[in-house]
Chain A
Amino acid sequence: MYKTQTIKEKIVERYSSLVDNSDQFTNAVKKPLKQTFRINSIKGDKDKILNDMRNYDASIKKIPWCDNAFETDLTNLGSSIQHFSGQIYIQELTSMVPPLIVSNIIKQKTVLDCCAAPGSKTTQMAEIMNNEGHIIANDARHGRIKSLRGNLDRLGITNTTVTLRDFNSFPNTSADVYLVDAPCSSEGTIRKKNAVARKWRQHDYDRFSKLQKNLLKKACEMAPKGSTIIYSTCTLAPEENENVISQILDEEDIDLKKININGLKLDNGVTNWKEEDYNKEVKKCARMWPHHNDTDAFFLARMEKC
């Protein structure tokens, strides 16, 4: 077990060779994250909700690259009337990115969210889909399903089926989009609370990498031709990111697609790490570094089944 500061230093040291500016990276990792939230337009008009909130919070600022996302200086929005009534969802900015990159293709469609709890991305997709189409939100752990169910209820989500299964044994299900937001070492969340400090272990990279590959492989196997598969983690470790994608590219019939979001700085995937070379295509993956957009760290890959 390490103290938070030590882990921050270790993470900075481990990845400083990958970043464009290691001083900025170091400073960003040390800085606490601001609270961010998303407006849930299923429960009312966005501008009206925002005006109501500005009556007690003058610090609210819009996030330029995401229409419904805002940041605030308040730290306890969970005790606001908007949170109680499901008009807002407190969510990290990085977590809003996977639904954003499929926002133009999920309306009226079927989405399989393989590791859905606690439901930030599920509820965001449901909102983008205007509560129509169908989301199958799966998670393998009973305790986490409870929080997923609670969030779906609070946000008024009606287009979602919740399933409790190990995704490796999930029945083959045809969908238009598969979201594999895989369990990971969570290094990317180092700027918030002590979550990483409690769990971080060097040897977790291998354990998570195997788990992630199995989940993604299962999604690729059941995906019909032309469907989209999104893989995301909140870790910086290439072992859990490019390494997983590289192996899948070598084994499955999929194409990797470049990711672009207006106003959001995304870095390319890395093609080698610790003397290991990955499939050159993994450059098309996207890395979010904390110092580029003042967020957590995050990794994304968008694939299409051939």
Chain B
Amino acid sequence: MLKLIEKEKKDDIIKYCLERFGLRQKNLERYHWYEGSKNRIFIGPEKVKRINPESLGLCIFRLDKTPKPTTNFIQLFGEKINKNYIILNKTETVKICKGENLKKKIDVEAGFVALKYKSISLGCAHWNGEIIKNQIPKSKFCNINFL
């Protein structure tokens, strides 16, 4: 069951988006925000009375100890992300899309990162200073033949 998100939680996520990814508030303002089960945060249209939705809008975050961005979020707002992203080469992109982790020397802050191939946003990963840990959902894994 989706409910409208509390203002404090929404403000925290918007603050995180700006601090972590440089994503400005104006990009997130036009949506209605909801909280669903398992601490999942959705952005979408206004809820319609009398209709019991199976789902609504797009799941963009999961609130754990810290906010965790989803691959949907990174892919949708990737063009506007200007901090803590990693540009992958062809081989690395193929590995990431297959679901593998990567070992790579990079200069970004530890935490969640956006993965890109050229300007294409691929999804979310976690960087712990040594390994880029793949956070793309299993259901999206794919053998890429054309890039």
Contacts and interface: CB of A to CB of B under 8 A. Distances in A.
B45 A52 contact: no
A163 B44 CA distance: 14
Contacts of B46: 134
A24 B144 CA distance: 38
Interface string B82-100: 0000000000010001000
Contacts of B75: 43, 85-86, 156
Nearest to B49: A171
B18 interface: no
Contacts of A136: 48, 51
Interface in A72-121: 74, 76-87
B54 interface: yes
Nearest to A152: B58
Interface in B78-125: 79, 93, 97, 117-122
Given A44-B119, A56-B146, A81-B147, A161 B53 contact: yes
Contacts of A159: 44-45, 57
B82 to A, nearest CB: 16
B76 A156 contact: yes
Nearest to A86: B75
A149 B139 CA distance: 12
A240 B139 CA distance: 36
Contacts of B120: 44, 52, 81-82, 85, 87
Nearest to A74: B146
Contact of B43 (A87, A134, A158, A161): A158
Contacts of A161: 44-45, 47-48, 51, 53, 55-57
Contacts of B45: 133-135, 158-161
A145 B54 contact: yes
A81 B51 contact: no
Interface string B18-58: 00000000000011000000000001111110111111111
Given A81-B117, A150-B139, A162 B54 contact: yes
Contacts of A56: 146-147
A173 interface: yes
Contacts of A163: 51-54
B139 A85 contact: no
Contacts of B143: 79
Contacts of B58: 152-153, 156-158
A86 B79 CA distance: 13
B53 A162 contact: yes
Contacts of B140: 84, 154
23 contacts: A44-B79, A80-B145, A81-B93, A81-B144, A81-B146, A81-B147, A82-B120, A82-B146, A83-B142, A85-B120, A87-B120, A133-B45, A136-B51, A149-B54, A149-B55, A156-B72, A158-B76, A160-B44, A161-B55, A162-B54, A163-B54, A164-B54, A173-B48
Interface of A: 42-44, 48, 52-53, 56-57, 74, 76-87, 132-136, 145, 149-150, 152-154, 156-164, 171, 173
Interface of B: 30-31, 43-48, 50-59, 72, 75-76, 79, 93, 97, 117-122, 139-140, 142-147
Given A52-B118, A163-B51, 6 more contacts: A43-B76, A80-B144, A85-B121, A156-B72, A160-B45, A160-B57
